[in-house]
Structure 1
């Protein structure tokens, strides 16, 4: 039986079915792939870091 639950991605804010969950935060497949392939000099890299900090902040609450 497949799980077709939709989750809201913490990076793009879109509702998707496929992706990963880190702690309790969902990242869709598209954003995960883009993050892995983004150069550290790219401005979007810093956006990804900012969004990922939400995960870190929630684990300290």
Structure 2
């Protein structure tokens, strides 16, 4: 009997896929693949603007004093 594959990791805010490795920005997760793509995409490419729009979804959490 085969084991059922367990889903681990988090959902990337850029590609919307579940990944195990990446970084956290505030409360959002960006997978390592998307992080690499963002870093290596020239700002003149249309794809870069898509990244910028998706990154706008990241909100700074409120600071309580």
Fold similarity call, TM over 0.5? yes
> TM-score category by the smaller chain?
0.7 to 0.9
State the TM-score, normalizing by the size of structure 2.
0.78
Question: Where do 4+ consecutive residues of structure 1 move more than 6 Å?
Answer: none
Q: Greater Rg, structure 1 or structure 2?
A: 2
How many residues align? The count is: 55
Identify unmatched segments of 5+ residues in structure 2: 1-7
Q: RMSD value over aligned CA atoms?
A: 1.4
Q: Is the 8 A contact 2:11 2:17 kept in 1?
A: yes
